[in-house]
Structure 1
Amino acid sequence: MHPDVAVDILKKAETSLVSYRDTGFADAQTSAKEICEEMNVEAALKQKRLRTTKRQFSYEAPDEPITDALKKMEFSFFNVVVDMAIESLRERTGMMSDVAKKFSVLISFSSELEKQAKDLCNTLTSGDHSDLNYDELIVEMQSFPKQWPKQNMTKLDLVFLEEKGLKEIYPNMWVALRIAVTTPVSVVSAERSFSKL
């Protein structure tokens, strides 16, 4: 999967979760009642008796405790879990957007070609070693056939350089494309050891 495709999917998942936050608890409650009816179990949560504690006088009154068990479950559990999932997706979408933006120069040669190519070269630099030569990359992109890249083209489509035997003519683009198509879209630390290679 490409980072730009992953960003699109993550945005759709975030939108879905935001709408689920509004209606999901009621839907889950309805499903739970149906399951309870099938199992001949009473569909009710047990009400816990609230403990009262002696309080000293203070300027701020304490929040009113939620006495309804369903409301308490919705506010203290359901909404918290869904909000954490939404925030996690937003964070992941932001990181993937940055990666997709850095590699976007490979499929859309815009007017800011030099600046975007420099950003890509800086991204693929570690210490004194760089995977790309900036000056050669600019020359390669400027001499790239005008019919490429096409509309709605992905980085994987550009791997045609291998098929056409053009990777020796465009070595820096070839290196950047290989890195782009093998960059894992997952940011979970446990999965980082599994690359697309």
Structure 2
Amino acid sequence: MDDAHTKNEAESLAIQMKDSKFLVSLVFWHDLLSQVNFVSKELQRDTMDISAGISSFEKLCNWLKTYREKGFQEVLIGANELAEDLDVTPVFQTKRLRKRKKQFEYESADEAFSDPEEAYRVQCFNHVLDKALQSLGPRFEQSQKHASLFGFLCEFKNLPKDTIRKSAANLELALTDVKLVQENEQVSTVKSLDINGYMLCEELEALKPILPSDCRNPLQILQFLAYNNRSTAFPNLFIAIQIFLTIPVTVASGERSFSKLNLIKTYLRSTMQEDRLRSLAIMSIECEVMKSLTLGNILKDFAEQMVRKIKF
């Protein structure tokens, strides 16, 4: 009985998978999720900063807008090629339109689509892309605000001094912490400044002629100042770039690293000691370093250290 039920269910699924609408949806979701997955991995890189993250986000939004206007025909072509490989006729099945009950008299009747492909494009293809564009905006509002504040640090070489001075003043205001202090029944305000906007502008102007041409992003500028012992000569710029680079674009990379501990403990339970747990956690978190190591060399070093030589 179970085998017959499973067989019927598998046959019905096979028939549905050969449906033209399913093939079109398969190609459509593959294109969409591939682009989203690529940008997601880009944002989770350790060297990713907000300016580069905003650039990747804008490219994804532009791709979605272009794909919404011109991508449906490409999806149909890909679905037709897939249907030929499966020996299936790529034809949309026409379905009867279900009438929606009116709640009010002034509501208009549902407009029927004579072409099922056009109905799919309007009701599914465009609808999904519109929702994707609407959901991406609020996720990056805070990052866009940070990029507007710190963005001049990436482009100061090509900016006039007046623009740099104005941007530095806005950054100084954003990084100012105002506290209320009560002394002798009097309340006063105390400002704590992380940077000085005027001095930051002067430091950027002084850095322009000596900064190498290959230093194009904030990380390279920070490394140039640190490796050449010039952090004390440009203190405000050094602090501003450090704050800029420590603002996370996403938290997925950090969450994935910390979740390794639970995975290791679940797999090995409580059969190991603390030293082994700590070592496995470090190996799991630093997996990129582990991939670059050669197992044969490690085993050779281990054998040389653990070998017991007996003198006769």
- Give TM class, smaller chain: 0.7 to 0.9
1:147 matched residue in structure 2: 209
Q: Which has the higher helix share?
A: 2
Q: Is the 8 A contact 2:175 2:195 kept in 1?
A: no
Q: Quick one: which of 111, 117, 122 aligns to 2:168?
A: 117
- Which structure: larger Rg? 2
Greater RCO (CA < 8 Å, at least 6 residues apart): 1
Q: Is the 8 A contact 2:199 2:236 kept in 1?
A: no
How far apart, in 1, do the equivalents of 2:88 and 2:220 lie? Answer: 56
Matches within 5 A, 1:1-197: 1-52=48-99, 58-59=105-106, 61-89=108-136, 95-107=142-154, 108=156, 110-126=161-177, 128=179, 130=192, 132-134=194-196, 137-143=197-203, 144-148=206-210, 153-159=216-222, 160-186=224-250
Q: Is the 8 A contact 2:54 2:144 kept in 1?
A: yes
How far apart, in 2, do the equivalents of 1:123 and 1:57 lie? Answer: 51
Are residues 117 and 51 of structure 1, via their aligned partners in 2, closer, same or farther at CA, if it must alter by over 3 Å? closer
Q: Is the 8 A contact 1:14 1:90 kept in 2?
A: no
AA at the equivalent of 1:172: N
2:16 matched residue in structure 1: none
Unaligned runs of 5+ in 1: none
Are residues 140 and 127 of structure 1, via their aligned partners in 2, closer, same or farther at CA, if it must alter by over 3 Å? closer
Greater Cα shift, 111-120 or 69-78? 111-120
How far apart, in 1, do the equivalents of 2:152 and 2:236 lie? Answer: 13
**Once the 2 structures are TM-superposed, how far is the Cα of residue 93 of structure 1 from its aligned partner?**
6.4
Unaligned runs of 5+ in 2: 1-47, 180-190, 258-312
Q: Is the 8 A contact 1:25 1:74 kept in 2?
A: yes
AA at the equivalent of 2:225: L
How far apart, in 2, do the equivalents of 1:21 and 1:168 lie? Answer: 51
**Overall identity of the aligned pairs, in %:** 28
Q: Is the 8 A contact 1:33 1:43 kept in 2?
A: yes
Q: Deviations over 1:75-118 (max 9, x none)?
A: 11110111223344555666544322211343526314443223
Are residues 150 and 60 of structure 1, via their aligned partners in 2, closer, same or farther at CA, if it must alter by over 3 Å? same
The TM-score with structure 2 as length reference comes to: 0.50
Q: How much is the aligned-residue C-alpha RMSD, in angstroms?
A: 3.5
Runs ≥4 residues deviating over 6 A: 53-57
Are residues 104 and 54 of structure 1, via their aligned partners in 2, closer, same or farther at CA, if it must alter by over 3 Å? closer
Q: Deviations over 1:3-45 (max 9, x none)?
A: 3333333333333222211221111112112211211223223
